[in-house]
Amino acid sequence: MRALALSAFALLAACTQAPAARHVTLQCLDAGHLEDQAVIPAGRVDRGDVAFNREELVGGSGQVAAFSIDTHEVTNRQFAAFVAATHYVTVAERTAPDGQRTGAAVFDPNQHAWRVDREADWRHPAGANSTIAGRDFFPVVQIAYEDAAAYARWRGRRLPTENQWERAARLDAPAPHDIHAEAFAPNGVPRANTWQGVFPVVDRGVDGFEGLAPVGCFAPNAQHLYDMVGNVWEWTSDWYAADRAPASEIYARDHDPNHIAERVIKGGSYLCSDTFCSRFRTGSRQPADPGEGMSHVGFRTVGDVPRRT
Protein backbone atom coordinates (compact mmCIF):
# COMPACT_ATOMS: atom_id res chain seq x y z
CA MET A 1 0.00 0.00 0.00
CA ARG A 2 1.33 3.35 -0.89
CA ALA A 3 1.86 6.04 1.63
CA LEU A 4 -0.78 8.68 1.41
CA ALA A 5 -0.02 12.31 1.35
CA LEU A 6 -2.05 15.34 0.59
CA SER A 7 -0.21 17.73 -1.58
CA ALA A 8 -0.23 21.44 -1.05
CA PHE A 9 -3.65 22.80 -0.54
CA ALA A 10 -4.84 25.80 -2.42
CA LEU A 11 -6.60 27.56 0.40
CA LEU A 12 -8.46 29.96 -1.76
CA ALA A 13 -12.13 29.59 -0.95
CA ALA A 14 -13.85 32.38 0.84
CA CYS A 15 -15.51 31.25 4.04
CA THR A 16 -18.99 32.41 4.88
CA GLN A 17 -20.72 32.32 8.23
CA ALA A 18 -23.33 29.72 7.29
CA PRO A 19 -23.88 27.31 10.17
CA ALA A 20 -22.45 23.83 9.83
CA ALA A 21 -24.99 21.09 9.35
CA ARG A 22 -24.77 17.74 11.12
CA HIS A 23 -25.79 14.62 9.31
CA VAL A 24 -28.45 12.92 11.33
CA THR A 25 -30.18 11.35 8.35
CA LEU A 26 -29.64 7.60 8.28
CA GLN A 27 -31.86 6.72 5.34
CA CYS A 28 -33.09 8.54 2.27
CA LEU A 29 -34.21 5.80 -0.10
CA ASP A 30 -36.99 3.41 0.80
CA ALA A 31 -35.50 -0.03 1.47
CA GLY A 32 -37.77 -1.41 -1.23
CA HIS A 33 -35.70 0.44 -3.82
CA LEU A 34 -32.31 -0.92 -2.78
CA GLU A 35 -32.12 -3.26 -5.77
CA ASP A 36 -33.43 -0.79 -8.35
CA GLN A 37 -31.69 -0.54 -11.69
CA ALA A 38 -32.14 1.76 -14.66
CA VAL A 39 -31.79 0.79 -18.31
CA ILE A 40 -29.50 3.05 -20.27
CA PRO A 41 -30.28 2.91 -23.99
CA ALA A 42 -27.60 2.29 -26.60
CA GLY A 43 -26.09 5.41 -28.01
CA ARG A 44 -23.21 7.78 -28.08
CA VAL A 45 -21.18 8.98 -25.13
CA ASP A 46 -19.31 12.27 -25.32
CA ARG A 47 -16.80 11.90 -22.56
CA GLY A 48 -15.09 14.48 -20.41
CA ASP A 49 -14.18 18.05 -21.18
CA VAL A 50 -10.77 19.04 -22.41
CA ALA A 51 -11.29 22.51 -20.93
CA PHE A 52 -10.75 21.08 -17.44
CA ASN A 53 -8.22 18.32 -17.89
CA ARG A 54 -6.79 17.29 -21.24
CA GLU A 55 -6.65 13.66 -20.22
CA GLU A 56 -10.41 13.44 -19.56
CA LEU A 57 -10.97 12.45 -23.17
CA VAL A 58 -8.31 9.77 -23.34
CA GLY A 59 -9.52 6.45 -24.65
CA GLY A 60 -13.14 7.46 -24.61
CA SER A 61 -16.26 8.60 -26.44
CA GLY A 62 -18.06 6.62 -29.13
CA GLN A 63 -20.96 4.18 -29.05
CA VAL A 64 -22.12 2.25 -26.01
CA ALA A 65 -24.51 -0.72 -26.14
CA ALA A 66 -27.57 -0.73 -23.91
CA PHE A 67 -26.97 -1.79 -20.32
CA SER A 68 -28.54 -1.65 -16.90
CA ILE A 69 -26.99 0.16 -13.96
CA ASP A 70 -27.76 0.33 -10.25
CA THR A 71 -29.70 3.47 -9.45
CA HIS A 72 -27.51 4.09 -6.43
CA GLU A 73 -24.16 3.25 -4.91
CA VAL A 74 -23.94 -0.22 -3.33
CA THR A 75 -24.86 0.06 0.35
CA ASN A 76 -23.50 -1.52 3.51
CA ARG A 77 -26.68 -3.60 3.74
CA GLN A 78 -26.22 -4.98 0.24
CA PHE A 79 -22.53 -5.75 0.75
CA ALA A 80 -23.31 -7.42 4.09
CA ALA A 81 -25.75 -9.75 2.29
CA PHE A 82 -22.99 -10.68 -0.16
CA VAL A 83 -20.52 -11.43 2.65
CA ALA A 84 -23.11 -13.42 4.59
CA ALA A 85 -23.86 -15.55 1.54
CA THR A 86 -20.29 -16.11 0.36
CA HIS A 87 -18.06 -15.53 3.43
CA TYR A 88 -15.99 -13.27 1.21
CA VAL A 89 -13.02 -11.62 2.91
CA THR A 90 -12.12 -8.19 1.58
CA VAL A 91 -8.60 -7.09 0.76
CA ALA A 92 -8.48 -4.80 3.80
CA GLU A 93 -9.18 -7.76 6.10
CA ARG A 94 -6.45 -9.97 4.65
CA THR A 95 -2.84 -10.31 5.79
CA ALA A 96 -0.41 -8.11 3.88
CA PRO A 97 3.05 -9.25 2.73
CA ASP A 98 4.54 -7.60 5.82
CA GLY A 99 2.51 -9.91 8.05
CA GLN A 100 0.18 -7.20 9.27
CA ARG A 101 -3.44 -6.77 8.45
CA THR A 102 -3.78 -4.87 5.17
CA GLY A 103 -6.22 -2.24 6.37
CA ALA A 104 -7.34 0.72 4.31
CA ALA A 105 -6.97 4.44 3.85
CA VAL A 106 -8.98 6.63 6.19
CA PHE A 107 -9.58 10.34 5.90
CA ASP A 108 -9.58 11.62 9.46
CA PRO A 109 -11.65 14.82 9.72
CA ASN A 110 -10.17 15.60 13.11
CA GLN A 111 -6.58 15.36 11.93
CA HIS A 112 -7.51 16.87 8.56
CA ALA A 113 -5.45 14.21 6.83
CA TRP A 114 -5.36 10.72 5.41
CA ARG A 115 -3.83 7.80 7.25
CA VAL A 116 -3.36 4.11 6.50
CA ASP A 117 -5.25 2.31 9.25
CA ARG A 118 -4.51 -1.39 9.55
CA GLU A 119 -7.77 -1.96 11.41
CA ALA A 120 -9.96 -0.23 8.86
CA ASP A 121 -12.26 -2.29 6.64
CA TRP A 122 -15.81 -2.08 5.32
CA ARG A 123 -17.28 -2.91 8.74
CA HIS A 124 -14.94 -0.44 10.46
CA PRO A 125 -14.53 2.28 7.85
CA ALA A 126 -12.64 4.67 10.12
CA GLY A 127 -10.62 2.06 12.01
CA ALA A 128 -10.98 -0.20 15.04
CA ASN A 129 -13.36 1.96 17.01
CA SER A 130 -15.69 2.74 14.13
CA THR A 131 -18.78 0.86 13.04
CA ILE A 132 -21.41 0.72 10.34
CA ALA A 133 -24.15 0.01 12.88
CA GLY A 134 -27.15 2.10 11.89
CA ARG A 135 -25.60 2.88 8.53
CA ASP A 136 -27.27 0.21 6.40
CA PHE A 137 -28.12 2.72 3.72
CA PHE A 138 -24.74 4.41 3.46
CA PRO A 139 -22.48 3.47 0.55
CA VAL A 140 -20.06 0.67 1.42
CA VAL A 141 -16.47 1.93 1.49
CA GLN A 142 -13.00 0.50 2.15
CA ILE A 143 -13.63 -1.71 -0.85
CA ALA A 144 -10.68 -2.55 -3.10
CA TYR A 145 -11.33 -3.05 -6.79
CA GLU A 146 -11.39 -6.84 -6.58
CA ASP A 147 -13.87 -6.68 -3.71
CA ALA A 148 -16.22 -4.58 -5.82
CA ALA A 149 -15.76 -6.89 -8.80
CA ALA A 150 -16.46 -9.94 -6.61
CA TYR A 151 -19.71 -8.41 -5.39
CA ALA A 152 -20.72 -7.61 -8.96
CA ARG A 153 -19.99 -11.18 -10.11
CA TRP A 154 -22.07 -12.54 -7.24
CA ARG A 155 -24.99 -10.53 -8.56
CA GLY A 156 -24.32 -11.69 -12.13
CA ARG A 157 -23.13 -8.22 -13.00
CA ARG A 158 -19.86 -6.32 -13.41
CA LEU A 159 -18.32 -2.92 -12.84
CA PRO A 160 -19.04 -0.22 -15.43
CA THR A 161 -16.57 0.88 -18.02
CA GLU A 162 -15.75 4.56 -17.93
CA ASN A 163 -17.77 5.11 -21.11
CA GLN A 164 -20.77 3.30 -19.62
CA TRP A 165 -20.50 5.35 -16.45
CA GLU A 166 -20.47 8.68 -18.32
CA ARG A 167 -23.30 7.63 -20.64
CA ALA A 168 -25.36 6.72 -17.60
CA ALA A 169 -24.56 10.13 -16.17
CA ARG A 170 -25.48 12.27 -19.18
CA LEU A 171 -26.57 10.04 -22.13
CA ASP A 172 -25.09 11.80 -25.18
CA ALA A 173 -24.91 15.27 -23.66
CA PRO A 174 -21.47 16.85 -23.36
CA ALA A 175 -20.01 17.60 -19.95
CA PRO A 176 -21.07 21.07 -18.78
CA HIS A 177 -18.45 23.78 -19.05
CA ASP A 178 -19.56 25.23 -15.70
CA ILE A 179 -17.53 23.39 -13.07
CA HIS A 180 -20.34 23.76 -10.53
CA ALA A 181 -23.25 22.87 -12.80
CA GLU A 182 -23.68 19.29 -11.63
CA ALA A 183 -23.02 19.69 -7.91
CA PHE A 184 -24.92 22.92 -7.35
CA ALA A 185 -28.16 24.42 -8.64
CA PRO A 186 -27.87 27.75 -10.49
CA ASN A 187 -28.75 29.55 -7.24
CA GLY A 188 -25.86 27.82 -5.48
CA VAL A 189 -27.92 25.32 -3.50
CA PRO A 190 -25.99 22.02 -3.28
CA ARG A 191 -27.49 19.07 -5.12
CA ALA A 192 -24.76 16.56 -4.31
CA ASN A 193 -22.71 15.62 -1.26
CA THR A 194 -19.42 17.45 -1.63
CA TRP A 195 -17.26 19.55 0.73
CA GLN A 196 -18.14 23.20 1.32
CA GLY A 197 -15.30 25.10 2.87
CA VAL A 198 -11.53 25.03 2.86
CA PHE A 199 -10.35 21.44 2.45
CA PRO A 200 -9.11 19.74 4.57
CA VAL A 201 -9.58 22.23 7.40
CA VAL A 202 -13.31 22.84 7.64
CA ASP A 203 -16.34 21.29 6.01
CA ARG A 204 -19.31 23.55 6.66
CA GLY A 205 -21.72 20.84 5.55
CA VAL A 206 -24.01 23.27 3.77
CA ASP A 207 -25.32 20.35 1.71
CA GLY A 208 -26.54 18.72 4.93
CA PHE A 209 -23.70 16.25 5.37
CA GLU A 210 -20.23 16.36 6.84
CA GLY A 211 -18.78 13.08 5.69
CA LEU A 212 -20.71 10.39 3.87
CA ALA A 213 -24.43 10.61 3.21
CA PRO A 214 -26.86 7.72 2.88
CA VAL A 215 -27.51 6.89 -0.76
CA GLY A 216 -30.26 8.75 -2.56
CA CYS A 217 -30.51 11.88 -0.42
CA PHE A 218 -30.25 14.22 -3.39
CA ALA A 219 -32.45 14.37 -6.47
CA PRO A 220 -31.64 11.78 -9.15
CA ASN A 221 -30.43 12.67 -12.63
CA ALA A 222 -32.63 12.31 -15.72
CA GLN A 223 -31.80 8.58 -15.85
CA HIS A 224 -33.09 8.18 -12.25
CA LEU A 225 -29.58 7.63 -10.91
CA TYR A 226 -28.63 9.01 -7.51
CA ASP A 227 -25.30 10.42 -6.39
CA MET A 228 -23.50 10.21 -9.74
CA VAL A 229 -21.74 13.31 -8.46
CA GLY A 230 -20.32 13.39 -4.96
CA ASN A 231 -20.70 11.15 -1.89
CA VAL A 232 -18.21 8.46 -3.01
CA TRP A 233 -15.99 8.06 -6.04
CA GLU A 234 -17.03 4.95 -7.96
CA TRP A 235 -14.80 2.22 -9.39
CA THR A 236 -14.80 1.63 -13.13
CA SER A 237 -13.19 -1.26 -14.98
CA ASP A 238 -10.99 1.00 -17.10
CA TRP A 239 -7.25 1.03 -16.49
CA TYR A 240 -5.97 4.52 -15.94
CA ALA A 241 -2.38 3.58 -16.62
CA ALA A 242 -3.28 2.21 -20.05
CA ASP A 243 -4.06 5.69 -21.18
CA ARG A 244 -1.52 7.59 -23.16
CA ALA A 245 -2.40 11.17 -22.51
CA PRO A 246 -0.07 13.82 -23.86
CA ALA A 247 0.32 15.37 -20.42
CA SER A 248 3.92 15.05 -19.32
CA GLU A 249 3.04 13.98 -15.81
CA ILE A 250 1.11 10.98 -17.10
CA TYR A 251 4.02 10.01 -19.34
CA ALA A 252 6.24 10.15 -16.27
CA ARG A 253 3.86 8.00 -14.26
CA ASP A 254 3.70 5.32 -16.92
CA HIS A 255 7.48 5.12 -17.08
CA ASP A 256 8.03 4.98 -13.35
CA PRO A 257 9.12 1.40 -12.50
CA ASN A 258 7.41 1.75 -9.12
CA HIS A 259 4.18 2.91 -10.64
CA ILE A 260 1.12 0.84 -9.73
CA ALA A 261 -1.38 0.26 -12.52
CA GLU A 262 -4.47 2.14 -11.49
CA ARG A 263 -8.15 2.00 -12.29
CA VAL A 264 -10.28 4.99 -13.16
CA ILE A 265 -12.71 6.23 -10.52
CA LYS A 266 -15.54 8.61 -11.37
CA GLY A 267 -17.88 11.20 -9.91
CA GLY A 268 -15.97 12.85 -7.10
CA SER A 269 -16.72 12.44 -3.41
CA TYR A 270 -17.75 14.19 -0.21
CA LEU A 271 -14.12 15.34 0.04
CA CYS A 272 -14.17 17.29 -3.23
CA SER A 273 -14.24 21.02 -2.62
CA ASP A 274 -13.61 24.16 -4.59
CA THR A 275 -10.16 24.29 -3.02
CA PHE A 276 -9.07 20.69 -3.49
CA CYS A 277 -9.99 18.06 -6.05
CA SER A 278 -12.99 20.04 -7.37
CA ARG A 279 -13.84 17.00 -9.48
CA PHE A 280 -17.51 17.05 -8.59
CA ARG A 281 -18.25 16.64 -12.29
CA THR A 282 -19.37 13.59 -14.27
CA GLY A 283 -16.70 14.33 -16.87
CA SER A 284 -13.88 14.19 -14.35
CA ARG A 285 -11.77 11.14 -13.57
CA GLN A 286 -9.07 10.16 -11.16
CA PRO A 287 -6.66 7.21 -10.83
CA ALA A 288 -6.93 4.89 -7.84
CA ASP A 289 -4.80 2.00 -6.60
CA PRO A 290 -7.06 -1.03 -7.17
CA GLY A 291 -5.51 -2.85 -4.22
CA GLU A 292 -6.50 -0.25 -1.67
CA GLY A 293 -9.77 0.48 0.05
CA MET A 294 -10.42 4.15 0.73
CA SER A 295 -13.02 5.90 2.82
CA HIS A 296 -14.24 7.96 -0.12
CA VAL A 297 -14.47 5.25 -2.82
CA GLY A 298 -17.48 3.00 -3.43
CA PHE A 299 -19.10 1.51 -6.51
CA ARG A 300 -22.23 0.51 -8.39
CA THR A 301 -22.72 -2.34 -10.87
CA VAL A 302 -23.92 -2.75 -14.44
CA GLY A 303 -25.40 -5.64 -16.43
CA ASP A 304 -26.71 -6.60 -19.83
CA VAL A 305 -30.23 -5.94 -20.97
CA PRO A 306 -32.07 -8.35 -23.26
CA ARG A 307 -31.58 -7.54 -26.94
CA ARG A 308 -34.67 -6.84 -28.95
CA THR A 309 -35.34 -9.44 -31.63
Binding stretches for Ca ion (CB under 5 A)? 193, 207, 209, 270
Residue whose C-alpha is closest to residue 300's, from 213, 219, 235: 235
CB of 216 to Ca ion, least distance (A): 15
Q: Smaller CB distance to Ca ion: residue 82 or 270?
A: 270
CA–CA gap between residue 148 and residue 154 (Å, rounded)? 10
CB of 189 to Ca ion, least distance (A): 13
CB of 210 to Ca ion, least distance (A): 6
Q: Smaller CB distance to Ca ion: residue 60 or 205?
A: 205
Residue whose C-alpha is closest to residue 292's, from 153, 150, 103: 103
**CA of 78: how far to CAs of 34, 91, 301, in Å?**
8, 18, 12
Q: Smaller CB distance to Ca ion: residue 139 or 160?
A: 139
CA–CA gap between residue 206 and residue 92 (Å, rounded)? 32
Q: Smaller CB distance to Ca ion: residue 166 or 207?
A: 207
CB of 190 to Ca ion, least distance (A): 7
Cα 66 → chain centroid: 23
Q: Smaller CB distance to Ca ion: residue 160 or 230?
A: 230
Backbone angles phi, psi at 234, to 5 degrees: -125, 135
Closest-by-Cβ residue to Ca ion is: 209
CA–CA gap between residue 284 and residue 279 (Å, rounded)? 6
From the CA atom positions of the chain, what is the Rg in Å? 18
**CA of 95: how far to CAs of 92, 103, 119, 264, in Å?**
8, 9, 11, 25
CB of 207 to Ca ion, least distance (A): 4
CB of 107 to Ca ion, least distance (A): 13
Q: Amino acid identity of 2?
A: R
Q: Smaller CB distance to Ca ion: residue 190 or 291?
A: 190
Q: Smaller CB distance to Ca ion: residue 47 or 296?
A: 296
CB of 232 to Ca ion, least distance (A): 12
